Amino acid sequence: MGKQYGLIPRKVAAVDTKYRTIKTEIPNAQSIRVIEQLRKYEPKSMSGQPPVVWDKAQGINVFDAYGNKWIDLSSCVVVANTGHGNSEVKKAIRDMVDHGLLNNYCFPSAIRGELTQKIIEVTATESLNKVFLLTTGGESTECAIKLARTYGQKKGGQKKIKIIGFEDAFHGRTMGAQMAGGIPKGKSWIVNLDKDMLQVPFPNSFKYEWADQRNADYSDERCFEIFLKNLKNEGVDDFKNIAGIMTETFQGGWCQLMPKGFAQKLRNFCTENDIVLIYDEIQAGFGRTAKMFGFQHSDIVPDIVCCGKGISSSLPLSCVIGREDIMDLFGPNEMTSTHTGNPVCAAATLASINYLIEKEIIKNCEKMSHICKGRLNKLKEKYNKNIGFVSGIGLAWAVILVKEGTKEIDCDLAHDVVRISMEKGVLMFAPVGAGATLKICPPLVINEEALNEAIDVLDEAIAQALYEKK
């Protein structure tokens, strides 16, 4: 069971810098009423985040209503790629509202035309040439599973229905997405799990030596042989019976790409066996990895790409981008969604994508990524007994806290570091992954000064958490 943060206001040192202000006790006493109201009326699962009542968010900052201001390292769960409250995004939303179209279902609209064309243009591949707009990430991964299985059956009959995923993978919390994901705890409620949805180990270098490219005996060949062996161990004797293989571009709790050679072998394997390769880029897409899409790091092109979160930097919009022959498997009115390409969400998304390109935000992301790499690895050296792993790509970084000198994760320590950082004006979401990963994923517009300041605070917070633990 996840943990809640305490609601007793603590006196903390005042902070007043260009990027942070802490001038009240934390959590703020007046804000407790709102948190208690939410804890009363919402399911418990909604109560796991640090107790900051968001009043406004702008650029890289989150503000409460009591004069406190945080540097946001969460991007609101990896959404605010072009910054919170981006002025272009806000203008596009306002213009669409004032223009007078709030929804239009699957009836045609000009904004849906513009946005779908833009998404295909920025995807910039020959094969990915159709896009289906949806609302949530989970909706897009469900749709990808459905498309892969439909394609499989068309090509190989009712045997070609296996969906292969990876251990620890997260694709959303709906039934199909959880079955395709690799988190057993999340799907135990389903009981009758689909026996044709299987997961095998992801090449995760923290967990598996065979996947650690720093080892002298590492090879892509061996890594891929292990993948094939694991498929056989799961009873997949005929690879032709696989309809789809789904992977996150990087797994959220580790922020680690698949080794490039492995990804290329996977691509070839899918082509040879007519398997739909699905990349879940819901976190990785639209600049987060310092490329427009994370799959570009591996010089491969998947058959389906799922996007969400940072695509709009704001309002809910997700999509499935795919090969025409897969995307067109359903006839008119057979694959729809009530809010597909909602015009206000579509306007926000188009504005955010344009901003990302015109202001060269991806270049900034790459620059900031080097700072994260250098500074977070230094932190690992400094706290070498308590930081077990640091990895990242672009502006998605994972710092995993462990029990002194072991590889056993330390959820309590991670929880405390997030709390103390909040008290000092740096906001992260609650630890992710197996429960001890501090996730560093600020808006891609963050500058060097603010990023360094946030990492200084993280350093202080780790020191204080370790001191308090003694």
Ligand X SMILES: Cc1ncc(COP(=O)(O)O)c(C=O)c1O
Q: Which of 252, 287, 302, 341 binds ligand X (CB under 6 A)?
A: 252
- Given 241, 256, 283, 352, the residue binding ligand X (CB under 6 A): 283
Any contact of residue 286 with ligand X (CB under 6 A)?
no
Give the interface segment with ligand X, choosing from 65-73, 109-117, 134-142, 457-465 (CB under 6 A).
Answer: 134-142
138 lines the binding site for ligand X (CB under 6 A) = yes
Distance CA 102, CA 104 (A): 7
| Residue nearest ligand X, Cβ-based | 137
Q: What angle do CA 141, 142, 147 make, to 5 degrees?
A: 95
Contact pick of 142, 280, 416, 453 for ligand X (by CB under 6 A): 280
Q: Which amino acid makes up residue 282?
A: I
Q: Is-contact 71 424, C-beta < 8 A?
A: no
**8 A C-beta contact, residue 81 and residue 310:** yes
Q: Strands, DSSP E only, in 176-220?
A: 197-200
Minimum distance of ligand X from residue 79's CB (angstroms): 9
Residue 171 or 375 with smaller CB distance to ligand X: 171
Of the pair 247, 364, the CB lying nearest ligand X is at 247
For tokens 């270049």, name the residue. Answer: 363
Beta carbons within 8 Å of 368's beta carbon, 6+ residues apart: 395, 442, 444, 446, 447, 448, 451
Picking from 327, 229, 312, 231, the residue whose alpha carbon sits closest to that of residue 278 is 327
**Is residue 259 at the binding interface for ligand X, with CB under 6 A as the rule?**
no
Q: What angle do CA 293, 247, 295 make, to 5 degrees?
A: 20
Q: How far is CA 33 from CA 14, 40, 67, in A?
A: 23, 10, 17
CB closer to ligand X, 136 vs 352: 136
What is the nearest approach in angstroms of ligand X to the Cβ of residue 174?
Answer: 7
Establish if 136 lies at the interface with ligand X (CB under 6 A): yes
Q: State which residue, 68 or 283, has the beta carbon closest to ligand X.
A: 283
User: C-alpha angle with apex 353: 350 to 355, nearest 5 degrees?
Assistant: 105
Out of 294, 308, 392, 394, point to the residue binding ligand X (CB under 6 A). Answer: 308
Site size toward ligand X, by CB under 6 A: 13
The residue from 50, 51, 172, 310 that contacts ligand X (CB under 6 A) is 172
What is the C-alpha separation between 214 and 208, in angstroms, rounded? 12
Return the range that interacts with ligand X (CB under 6 A); candidates 112-120, 277-285, 387-395, 436-444. Answer: 277-285
Choosing from 27, 51, 59, 137, the residue that interacts with ligand X (CB under 6 A) is 137
| Token code pair at residue 382 | 């400094």
Candidate ranges 80-88, 166-174, 205-213, 219-227; the one touching ligand X (CB under 6 A)? 166-174
Query: Residues in the site for ligand X, rule: CB under 6 A?
Result: 136-138, 141, 170-172, 248, 252, 280, 282-283, 308
